Amino acid sequence: MPVRLLKEFEKLKASILALGVEVERQLRLAVQSIETRDPHLARQVIDGDARIDEMEVDLEEDCLKALALYQPVAHDLRFLVSVLKMNNDLERIGDLAVNIAKRALPLAETPPMAMPFDFQTICEKTEEMLRNSLEAMVRFDTDLAYGVLEADDTVDDINRKIYRFVEEEVLKTPQNITYFIHLMGIYRQLERIADHATNIAEDVIYLAKGEIIRHREIPSPHR
């Protein structure tokens, strides 16, 4: 690999990691704004989205410049394609964190109600998936990436149970329907964040092995 291209790739790695760190921070703050019913924290997340958008655009431009200048092939091309895709997924996670924070604003103005499920647990699982997908990206760790794929099934299962429970509760206590609508919205955003973390993990596997595993059953990491 030419020295100039190697330096460019190192710069891209640093940029995608910085974006990942910022997105992870946004998600953590968004969850805290729900848990603490803190509208100021929620607005901090909403205002921080512009920074993520700026980082995403800058990284995309750098990738496109590298494609045009160096016309990479094989593994180098896979790297740039993977970074572009991860960049998009991270930006979307940032948007979803903002959506969660926006739900915190009306919830902060309503009387406190107990979460029907362990909100902290599903948040921790989603945050762990994002954190592990980023760690897999940094280390090109396919075992860790496969672990993220497997964890997505757990999050999906939790959400299915939540949806069934909320449907039943809405029928029992229709006066609380507004609260449940916001609650369902939050869980939906978390589920989508887990999906984007899964996308990142899939791209790590593609980068490391050259295999596109989307829409397949999860293969053994030791194959």
CA distances from residue 82 to 16, 164, 166 in whole angstroms, order as listed: 11, 36, 38
CATH classification of the domain holding 155:
1.20.58.220
pLDDT band at 117 (very low <50, low <70, confident <90, very high): low
Residue 55 domain-assigned (yes or no) = yes
- State how far the Cα of 26 lies from the Cα of 29, in Å rounded to an integer: 5
Q: What is the pTM of this model?
A: 0.90
Q: Residue 159 pLDDT > 80, yes or no?
A: yes
CB atoms within 10 A of CB 195: 17
- State how far the Cα of 139 lies from the Cα of 128, in Å rounded to an integer: 16
- Which tokens in the block code for residue 9? 């790739």
Residue 222 domain-assigned (yes or no) = no
pLDDT for 1 equals 61
Q: Read off the pLDDT of each residue in 169-178 and give the average, rounded to a whole number.
A: 84
Residue 185 domain-assigned (yes or no) = yes
pLDDT for 204 equals 95
Residue 138 domain-assigned (yes or no) = yes
- State how far the Cα of 44 lies from the Cα of 33, in Å rounded to an integer: 9
Q: What is the pLDDT of residues 187-219, one digit of tens each?
A: 899 999 999 999 999 999 999 888 888 766 655
pLDDT band at 222 (very low <50, low <70, confident <90, very high): very low
Q: Read off the pLDDT of each residue in 100-126 and give the average, rounded to a whole number.
A: 83
| Complete DSSP assignment for 126-176 | HHHHHHHHHHHHHHT-HHHHHHHHHHHHHHHHHHHHHHHHHHHHHHH-GGG
Q: Which of 58, 67, 63 is nearest to 22 (CA)?
A: 58
Q: Which residues contact 185 (CB under 8 A, 6 or more apart)?
A: 99, 103
Q: What is the pLDDT of residues 8-66, one digit of tens each?
A: 999 999 999 999 999 999 999 999 999 899 999 999 999 999 999 999 999 999 999 99
Residue 124 domain-assigned (yes or no) = yes
- State how far the Cα of 220 lies from the Cα of 213, in Å rounded to an integer: 12
Residue range of the domain that includes 197: 3-209
Residue 223 domain-assigned (yes or no) = no
Residue 160 domain-assigned (yes or no) = yes
Residue 92 domain-assigned (yes or no) = yes
Q: Please give the tally of structural domains in the chain.
A: 1
